[in-house]
Homo-oligomer: A and B are copies of this chain.
């Protein structure tokens, strides 16, 4: 366990358990560094994590304070904690994946460009309906280059593509770029998400990268507008 992570977790626990008064600054960095037997840089790094989570804020020349609203708000962010698929996001819930389409094809210009591949490299083209607790939740249309993501089978699609990538293929996911927009529901949306003609959907377009810098996924996730919202925390530097 890294020292700064251990300390960060400890301080987070203390805040949640109201060990520190929310009306006063928490102890200064040097005192905390002494308490945890670390350098001030390491202490600062531990606190940085909590600042980036929106749990603490600093005032130069004054001290480090608890963001009061952070104590009750538990689920700070979908965005910043995970870009793992549904499977990890909703642990404990019963998740089911219906395969609507599963093809291999040559990419369109747009798909080839987003995945940074040549047009002659085949891509998987997958459309899945994900259900949570038997309720339709999201339709995911996914493109993945076949040379990068191998051994994709229907079994994998029913389980979790992310698990296949990280555990079976042993690849490492580095991050993703996302765009979020509203759209009118298409016939496909209405059929599978069981939504009304005039129900909108929330679409998340995503390009995900391996730690090699290679894009391995270009996807469109279309969510029922009444069952999903996207959360993010923004801290100014």
List the interface of chain A (C-beta within 8 A of B).
54, 57, 59, 65-69, 73, 76, 79-80, 83, 114, 116, 173-184, 197-202, 207, 209, 211-213, 215, 223, 225, 228-236
Contact = CB atoms under 8 A, between A and B. Distances in A.
A234 B176 contact: yes
Nearest to A230: B180
B213 A65 contact: yes
Give the copy number: 2
Nearest to A72: B113
B200 A234 contact: no
Given A68-B116, A184-B199, A199-B184, A178 B231 contact: yes
B230 A179 contact: yes
Contact of A69 (B67, B116, B198, B229): B116
Given A183-B225, A232-B232, 19 more contacts: A54-B175, A57-B209, A57-B211, A59-B211, A66-B213, A67-B213, A177-B232, A177-B234, A179-B229, A179-B230, A180-B202, A180-B229, A181-B225, A181-B228, A182-B182, A182-B200, A182-B201, A183-B200, A202-B202
Contacts of A181: 202, 225, 228-230
Contacts of A197: 198
B67 A209 contact: yes
Nearest to A201: B182
A79 B232 contact: yes
A68 B207 CA distance: 13
Given A200-B184, A229-B180, A213 B83 contact: no
Given A173-B236, A231-B177, A234-B79, A182 B209 contact: no
